[in-house]
Structure 1
Amino acid sequence: MCKPQFTNYGLIIKQQLLNEMHCATTAHKRLNRRIKHMADNLPVDVTTIPQDLNNSEFSKWFFGRSVQFKKFPELKKYVLNIELFYNELQPIYQEIHSTYTKEIKSSYLKTLLGLNPSVITKKDQQKIQQLFSRFEQLSDSIITALNTLEGHIAIHPNEKLLVFI
């Protein structure tokens, strides 16, 4: 499993950046699948899902790189699009996460008390499914924008792209 990482110094080789982008996209898709499992009321290890979306592997990578991407006029608009989708995605993610974890905690307490530990109430499951529908649309928009950004980086004439300060 690749983890998106970056250093904050020196030059970056275009292929290294493309590999990082692939890892970041994969991390975002993996998180998306976990959120889909929540929406479908399937078991999810909540420790693999960050409480704050800014702590996701994708977010750490993207916001670490976005400052450098913005230095290239031909890339800046794609980065701004991703940021726009991401900012809309964040509160939806928080609502899904808090609803799901609230229900998991409630289920655990019910188990301790010897009650029926239904994992998620129908009402909360419907709420999560509705939220996930919008989450998925925004997530797909992020992936599309990332793919476009990746395409522009791939055809960039320089092999060494970014200098970090």
Structure 2
Amino acid sequence: MNTSRFGHIGSYLPGDTFRSRLELRLTGMHRPVRAGIAGSQHTGAESIVMSQVYEDDVFGEDEIIYSGQGGRDLKTGHQISPQTENDRNLALMKSAETGLPVRVLRKVFDDEFGTEVFRYEGLYCVTGFEYGPGKSGVNVWRFRLVPVRFGV
């Protein structure tokens, strides 16, 4: 049974916030409680979470550079071993091939509540990827995502 869900979920819109990874899972916005990439190498990536833990991630207004999964030291956040073509990284590669949109969620500080939340940034397409040395000198996958613009 394929339970992949691409695109928007329910009535959630960009800018909506979620208090925890568990809430993301319960709402269907991002199913894994820990992993940053939801999906598989067969169907593509449904969603990603930018949790400010990978040093090579870059969030920009017109594009995102998203580091692949794996090889990160949990204590320092630095890459200590090369990333591999694991199922989650292959999911993002498949998304580049299919063109299906990926939901992007990002951990941000919420001034109103004085805590970190996960904000839905919207739908993005993976337009390319590369493999090479990251900031720590270890090879990482870097995926380029651009916002899906409707009615342009």
Greater helix fraction, Structure 1 or Structure 2: 1
| Structure ranking higher in strand proportion | 2
**Greater Rg over alpha carbons, structure:** 1
Q: TM-score range by the shorter chain?
A: under 0.3
Give the TM-score normalised by structure 1. Answer: 0.26
